Amino acid sequence: MVPANGSAPEIPKPPARLGKVAKELWEIYWTAPISGAVERPDHYALKRWIESVNERERLLKAVQKATTVRGSTGQPVLNPLAKRLDQLEGQIERFERQFGMTPKARADLGIAAGNAAMTAEQLNRMASDAPDEDGDDQTETIDGEAEEISGFVEA
């Protein structure tokens, strides 16, 4: 979200009650070039991502303190919070792919390093204005070929 005046993007206010790690990740994300591709409707999904990160950090501390707990008959069992931790990992990974938070995710989304801050409109304009390999305007070539083809068909 680069403002129209070209200044540094404004970092959206993070959700309430985030821990230190989640707050840092929120700021890191919004100051990275990839955030330039995010539009306002995406903010809710990003909020869910950072809340999942926050919950993961909180549960991780609890599971690390007590990896096993006593079961119903007194036997040691894996802390049930570990299952939720695993679910959160999956959710976070999906968000990371959706928002290009890893090199592979950016490549899968077709975002080259350095181009992440470009808007979809800018990318479309580049694609439509780009000359072909010979430096010729592709639109003129396509229009010229269409005229030749239609002339050939009519003759």
Query: What is the per-residue pLDDT across 81-138, written as a single tens digit (0 to 9) for each?
Result: 999 999 999 999 999 999 999 999 999 888 765 555 455 565 556 566 655 555 555 4
Taking the CB of residue 128, how many other CB atoms lie within 10 A of it? 9
Q: Is 137 contained in some domain?
A: no
Look at the pTM and tell me if it is higher than 0.85.
no
φ, ψ for residue 70, nearest 5 deg: -80, 135
Structural domain contains residue 150: no
Higher-confidence position of 92 and 3: 92
Predicted confidence at residue 7, as pLDDT, reads 53
SS3 state at 99? coil
Inter-residue contact 51 to 15 (CB < 8 Å)? yes
Q: What is the pLDDT, as a whole number, of residue 116?
A: 52
Give the end-to-end CA distance of the chain in Å, rounded to a whole number.
53
pLDDT at res. 109? 86
* Number of domains the chain is built from: 1
Q: Does the structure show a pLDDT above 80 at 51?
A: yes
pLDDT at 146 over 80: no
Each residue of 21-48: pLDDT tens digit? Answer: 999 999 999 999 999 888 989 999 999 9
| Inside any domain, residue 51 | yes
The answer to the question of residue 103 being in a domain is yes
Q: Is residue 76 part of a domain?
A: yes
Give residue 139's pLDDT band: very low, low, confident or very high (50, 70, 90). Answer: very low
DSSP E strand boundaries for the chain? 68-70, 76-78
The owner of tokens 């002339």 is 151
**Count of C-beta atoms within a 10 Å radius of residue 34:** 19
Task: Flag whether 60 is in a domain.
Answer: yes
Does residue 126 lie within any of the structural domains? no
Stronger pLDDT, 133 or 144, i.e. the higher one: 133
Question: Over 60: is that where the pLDDT of 155 sits?
Answer: no
Pairwise pLDDT comparison (133 vs 153), residue with the higher score: 133
> Is residue 140 in some structural domain?
no
Close Cβ partners of 97 (under 8 Å, ≥ 6 residues apart)? 105, 108
Instruction: Answer whether residue 15 shows pLDDT above 90.
Output: yes
Q: Which domain holds residue 76?
A: 20-118
Q: What is the mean pLDDT of residues 4-9?
A: 52
